[in-house]
Amino acid sequence: MNPELNGLSRLEKNLGVSFRHLPYLITALTHKSHSNENPGLHPEDNERQEFLGDSVLGLIISIYLYRAYPDLDEGALSKARANLVNETTLAGVARKIGIGDFLFLGKGEEQTGGREKDSLLSDALEAVIAGIYLDQGFRATYDVILKHFETLIPKVVEQKHPFDYKTTFQEACQERFGVLPEYTLCRATGPDHDRIFVMELSVKGEVLGQGSGKSKKEAQQQAARQALEHLKGKKGSGTGDSLLQKKHRPVRR
């Protein structure tokens, strides 16, 4: 189901900005699958704004890193920026804001879990950033980006997880079910100096994700990430479906 236009004020609140020209925001949320199916309603998709937003975001992150970390060399700055603007990180930020709840999708994308796809979420976030820039200029865009990225930046610079999937999934379970997810070590392979751990995540006995890594913590992060990304595929009467139904309600901040 597509979001109602009169509900976009909730997204503006989550973003921390009020659009003067709302069509910039509507275009940012319009996937090409929707514009193809509804050319009269939303003739323009978000791809052009995504193109602009990618550059605006990269510039603002570059400026912040340059000023905040004078001791980092060019290589370290480039690595930090790349990790901050990659698809996974952007999708995580988009989920925190609740962008997925407001996307305009075609029937096919809706049915295949488009609201949970990292690619669609990251593209939409970049398009929203472009919309803010076109609507209110560079300074306002800088402030909005920093509001949502500033706590991530030191984690990335220190080479920690840019987005904490484990905590995000844990909070969802506690809020909706009053329980914590359980992580089980499935196996560990390789020599002692180069072990690979495989962890499984379950909620109320239902396995929702599996991940691997060179530490148990890394494997847990990957399992939580998989659980978040693939909830859409858990349709039915199980826990995964219940989580998904709750997740798609409008996000209140």
- 4 alpha-carbon distance from chain centroid: 21
φ and ψ at 200, to 5 degrees?
Answer: -115, 140
Cβ neighbors of 182 (< 8 A, separation 6 or more) are: 201, 202, 203
Look at residues 203, 213, 205 and name the one whose alpha carbon lies nearest to residue 244. Answer: 203
CA dist 160 and 92 (Å) reads 15
Name the active-site residue from 45, 50, 54, 118: 54
Helical (H) or strand (E) element with 183: strand 182-189
Coil vs helix vs strand at 21:
coil
Contact 135, 61 (CB under 8 A): no
**Residue 246: CB atoms within 10 Å:** 13
Name the active-site residue from 50, 109, 118, 126: 126
Residue 78: both structure tokens together: 């480039």
Residue 166: both structure tokens together: 């484990």
**Is position 126 annotated as part of the catalytic site?**
yes
Positions annotated as catalytic residues are 54, 126
